[in-house]
Amino acid sequence: MTSILEGLLKKVAAADETGDAFLARYGMLRNPFPPARTIYPEIIYNQEEALHLFAEGVVAIAGPNIERRTVAVLGGTGQGKSHFQRHCQYWVARENVPVVAVEFLAGTVSAAALLREMFRSADEHVKRNGEQDLLSAIVSRLEPGDYGPVRQTDLRAALRSVVASVQPDFVAEDRDRRFTSDVLLDVCRRWLNGETLSQTERRYLHVSGRLATASLMTRVISELFALARSQGLFQGVMICLDEVEALFFSGVTTSRIQAFLQDLRYLFDEARGQNSGYSLLVLAGSTVRGARDLREYNYPLFQRLGFETEARVQLQEVQDFNEARRFADVYLEYERERATAITRFGSTLQDAKLLISDQDLHAAFEGPSGDAKSQARLLESLHKIVEEKKRADVSG
């Protein structure tokens, strides 16, 4: 018996094959323009000033000295702030820069969630370089009694317990010998993530309690990252703080917003301690109104994030039809090169440009409201035009 879903999926597969055949005429495998809310992070158009500011920040935090840098990226809704941040993350990962990349939506309004994401991202970074995870990598490099720049009492005690557990002569302290090195490592990871431990777990990890506040968690994670940096596991951390404006429309209380902003300020300041620390770059994306609201809520953080200095940059819009043509060509050429690398189509840019005529481009750029200057709106319009051409080809 044929399933209804099987029949529907066959239709989808057949449509995709036909669509691929249509795009193949232009040397492509997929629609070169991403659909709404989708980002092709490999490419970006006409944001040289912002890219240079970002590159300078990355060079600084990847260097030998402990540095704190910021880049404040301003742009309207759909103007490409998230795209810019994803593009930066993509190239940092591709070039294997010794920097932990962290993506975080400001509207989450939780410093603890940001710190957990920093810890998770650091795990992923060291895994790509052959380590099991961040904590295991740190512990494997420590000698008993040597905890580098760590001063926080509970963190020193936790590291002492875990380091002792990986020594050849270690014997678990509990009667049932259940708290082996693997168990203690897991308990320590959970503690670092702010989870509540049982009384027994706290006893054998030798910590007094959970990391119950964002400030305490910040202190512990900052010292852990300083230790990781001193061991060469990474040089710095890059936080992509997106949609700052969403903070002020999140529906949470003013006091909670204020607390979150104060926690961010503390996190930024704690990155560089008196005797140690880790390098930090914050790439903050916001609308102009969001930046203005941030100034009113927490002026010191507004300053720290670069919204009042030369680290502030406005993203560029697509200004006229000729620029819209160049913008479209960047996406057409990228997809043509990508498809050629996979299939050896051997097409040219001129072949690819035939997909979007000047008439198509005028329709996309002008749009129903005459406002397609934002790159996101232009991409969405171009995507729809290509999809309509594919459907017309099938029905024709």
Cα–Cα dist 67/278, whole Å: 8
Cα–Cα dist 134/142, whole Å: 13
Cα–Cα dist 193/187, whole Å: 10
Cα–Cα dist 282/68, whole Å: 8
Q: Taking a C-beta distance cutoff of 8 angstroms, is the pair 304, 340 a contact? A: no
User: Partners of 18 in the beta sheet?
Assistant: none
Residues in contact with 280: Cβ distance below 8 Å, sequence separation at least 6, in sequence order = 61, 67, 68, 69, 236, 237, 238, 239, 268, 271, 272
Structure tokens at 203: 């006893």
Confidence at residue 366, expressed as pLDDT on a 0 to 100 scale: 81
pTM to 2 decimals? Answer: 0.89
Confidence at residue 375, expressed as pLDDT on a 0 to 100 scale: 85
Q: Taking a C-beta distance cutoff of 8 angstroms, is the pair 243, 283 a contact? A: no
- Quick count: other Cβ atoms within 10 Å of Cβ 157? 15
Distance of CA 323 to the CA centre of its chain: 29
Confidence at residue 307, expressed as pLDDT on a 0 to 100 scale: 94
Cα–Cα dist 155/306, whole Å: 32
Confidence at residue 15, expressed as pLDDT on a 0 to 100 scale: 47
Report DSSP letters for 119-175, one per residue. Answer: HHHHHHHHHHTT-S-HHHHHHHTPPTT--TT---HHHHHHHHHHHHHTSTT---SST
Helix (H, G, I), strand (E, B) or coil at 239: strand
Q: What phi and psi, each to the nearest 5 degrees, are found at residue 213? A: -120, 155
Query: Residue-wise pLDDT tens for the chain (396 aa)?
Result: 556 666 656 555 544 444 578 999 899 999 999 988 889 999 999 899 999 999 999 999 999 999 999 999 999 888 889 999 999 999 999 999 999 999 999 999 999 999 999 999 999 999 999 999 999 999 999 999 889 899 999 999 999 999 999 999 898 888 888 999 999 999 999 999 999 999 999 999 999 999 999 999 999 999 999 999 999 999 999 999 999 999 998 888 999 999 999 999 999 999 987 668 999 999 999 999 999 999 999 999 999 999 988 889 999 888 899 999 999 999 999 999 999 888 877 778 888 899 999 999 998 988 655 455 688 889 999 999 999 999 888 776
- Quick count: other Cβ atoms within 10 Å of Cβ 321? 12
* Structural domains of the chain, with CATH: 10-43+317-395 (no CATH), 48-131+233-314 (3.40.50.300), 134-205 (no CATH)
Q: What phi and psi, each to the nearest 5 degrees, are found at residue 253? A: -70, 155
Structure tokens at 56: 């300078």
Confidence at residue 5, expressed as pLDDT on a 0 to 100 scale: 66
Cα–Cα distances in angstroms (integers) from residue 376 to residues 55, 245, 342, in the given order: 23, 18, 27
Q: What phi and psi, each to the nearest 5 degrees, are found at residue 180? A: -75, 180
